[in-house]
Amino acid sequence: MTNTIEEVANQTFDYVIVGGGTAGLTLAARLTEDPTIKVVVIEAGPEHLNDPAILTPAPPGLTMNNPKYAWPFKTIPQSGLGDREMPMQRGRMLGGSSALNFLLWNKPPADDIYDWEKLGNPGWNWERFQKYAKRIEGFHPSSPKDQELCKQTTNIASHGLDGPVKTMFPRWVSHGEVPIQDSIHAAGIPFATDPFGGDPVGTYMGTGSVDHRNVARSYAAPAFYVPNKGRTNLTVLCGAIAHRIIFHSSVGGGEIEASGVEFEHDGLKHEVCARKEVLLCAGALKTPQILELSGIGNRNVLESLGIATKVDLPGVGTNMQEHLFCIVIFELDSNAKFETLDQLHDKAFAAKELQEYAHHKGMHTTVPTGLTFVPPHFVTRTPSEAAELIDAQRAKVEEKIRAGNLPPGLKEQWILQLERFERTKSGDCEIITFPGFFGVGEPGKKYLTFAGNLNSMLSRGSVHITSSDPNVEPEIDPRYFEEHFDLKLFAEIIKFIRRIPEHEPLKSLISKEVVPGPAVSNDEQIQDFVKKHCNTSWHTVSTAAMLPRDRNGVVDCNLRVYGTKNVRIADLSIVPLHVAAHTQSRVSR
Ligand SMILES: Cc1cc2nc3c(=O)[nH]c(=O)nc-3n(C[C@H](O)[C@H](O)[C@H](O)COP(=O)(O)OP(=O)(O)OC[C@H]3O[C@@H](n4cnc5c(N)ncnc54)[C@H](O)[C@@H]3O)c2cc1C
């Protein structure tokens, strides 16, 4: 049981953490290792501990459209998507998005993390990232038989073995995954050698955040809260929505000092006091809202809403970066005898599988496992096509730099991104395989889904408040495909995926492509398909970026919000430049 309002309202703690999600609970566990430090976490959502809907790994995504578990955010209409609004669910419970994500656990290329250091953040390099990522991971290798059968090989030295977030290769793997990987290899992609050691380039079998002891989701609540809830210096309040940071009057040097947080609980307003610091961990879509409601942000945004500016920080809510995915689905031929998740649509089969799960076996234990990360020259028909695409974009970027109207900080990021596209060890183009129809296919048929992912987009979006009322959600505007290069590269990933079944062993196992299907053939049609059907990967970052202040930075390299003495941010808002990996393992410091 978490704590009561009486234990929090008007009480004083050393650190007040806003948001009991992936980052917030990690931080709370770390800070309270010192028994002299008193920490409170205020989380908007409920506890939901021991809930089978959260704990059962597969099929993924069942809780994300349910307001009992998720913030039902959506973007404003996106002109780059034909005015489509993109749903942007996020976890709203103890554990945050780690409680409803797709459980995929992987790591970025080392060079992507070195880019953070190059952007002006000394010490934010791969070695440090890997040290902390290993510290939180408790990897359990599979048996030698499974390693051989399912190609579940990995460099054990690149994993953490004793950390609280348990990871493992999926216990149930469709026998379709190995032929898929072999065909991807036959299409010219190498096998990745050390994907958890900073070199994910190639194709490999990935791991999930699943606890091998009960084959249940391992996420921030059981990993960081449950084992530490007996600590008398840790207080956690659920159902508490932070409105704004409260500040003392100015101190020397013009920096403002936080004294606590105003929040709402059961419809009533309260305050909690911070002796040392306020730590924002509300996620990349909500942290900017709390800053702006507190008077920290772009003066024009704040003053138009009648909010007095305490720190004029134009970077707040800008530089938003995303990952997108778009799916291609193939129908399997009747000679493909392996099982797929499509069979779970059959009620009798699903009931049998639930019984299997009670014994920690079967389809419900699985997570997406087939992963491929490559730079653009692997997905275009020839390397020179990629080079032409990148050169043309470089010329556009140079022209924009000359014109001198880019937002501060973007030039340096784009230059690094263009270098990334040409690196041999980058993972800007990703393919995830899913043994079944992602959605619902025709009854009795079996499918394979390939999700193409774009991991390094040049377009930048924003998230800003439009009201001084904390209960009005901020306006989310990712500005997808504002940079047309993103769409063109995405279309190349889709074209590559469509060519995979030209290669054995898949060639003999697939009967036809059903999504997008033969009517979508030329480049224009493929781009149009992507615009209509792409989806967020829910990996938003960088809305309060760790960058120099004159480059639209919001926090310094100690994560302290500029202009404040004692407000820090520790969620994914601070990522200065997106990386080619799913985001949960990055919330590790
Ligand atoms: C549907 C989905 C699928 C995903 N799949 C994967 C995957 O397979 N692999 C992977 O690596 N990553 C995945 N991700 C991404 C990953 O889970 C997130 O990037 C990561 O968990 C974010 O951590 P965070 O701490 O920044 O935010 P969160 O974990 O979202 O935590 C933010 C917390 O703050 C709380 N909060 C917000 N506002 C307030 C407020 N005003 N007052 C109090 N509390 C507040 C929220 O309720 C939440 O608990 C997925 C995400 C989603 C949504």
Give catalytic status of residue 185 as yes or no.
no
DSSP, res 438: S
CA distances from 113 to 62, 78, 198, 294, 426 (A): 32, 30, 9, 31, 11
Q: Which of 269, 583, 586 to mutate to test the pocket of ligand 1 (most atoms within 8 A of CB)?
A: 583
- Which atom of ligand 1 is nearest the CA belonging to 282? 34
Q: Would you state the CATH architecture of domain 53-90+100-212+320-380+423-538? A: 2-Layer Sandwich (3.30)
> At how many degrees (to 10) do helices 410-422 and 383-403 cross?
170
pLDDT at residue number 1: 86
HSE toward the beta carbon, residue 483, CA cutoff 13 A = 23
Residue ranges for the chain with pLDDT beneath 50: none
Ligand 1 binding pocket includes 474 (Cβ within 6 Å): no
Ligand 1 binding pocket includes 572 (Cβ within 6 Å): yes
- Asked whether the beta carbons of 28 and 237 are under 8 A apart, the reply is no
One-letter amino acid of 569: I
Q: Model ipTM? A: 0.99
pLDDT at residue number 117: 98
Which residue do the tokens 């377009």 mark? 459
- Asked whether the beta carbons of 468 and 429 are under 8 A apart, the reply is no
Instruction: Tell how far the Cα of 472 is from the centroid of ligand 1, in angstroms.
Output: 19
Ligand 1 binding pocket includes 286 (Cβ within 6 Å): yes
- Which atom of ligand 1 is nearest the CA belonging to 91? 30
pLDDT at residue number 59: 87
pLDDT at residue number 588: 57
Which residue do the tokens 């909500």 mark? 286
CATH class (in words) of the domain with range 1-52+91-99+219-319+539-589: alpha beta
Where is 24: in which H helix or E strand?
Answer: helix 22-31
pLDDT at residue number 250: 63
- Which atom of ligand 1 is nearest the CA belonging to 89? 53
Write down the catalytic residue from 48, 364, 539, 578. 539
Ligand 1 binding pocket includes 289 (Cβ within 6 Å): no
Give catalytic status of residue 582 as yes or no.
yes
Question: What does the CA dihedral 370, 373, 379, 384 come to, rounded to 10 degrees?
Answer: -160
Which residue do the tokens 């059962």 mark? 56
Listed by start position, the domains of the chain span 1-52+91-99+219-319+539-589, 53-90+100-212+320-380+423-538
- Distance between CA 280 and CA 571 in Å, rounded? 7
- Strand 324-332 with 447-454, pairing: antiparallel
The residue whose CA has the least distance to atom 13 of ligand 1 is: 101
Instruction: Tell how far the Cα of 588 is from the centroid of ligand 1, in angstroms.
Output: 13
> At how many degrees (to 10) do helices 484-499 and 523-533 cross?
100
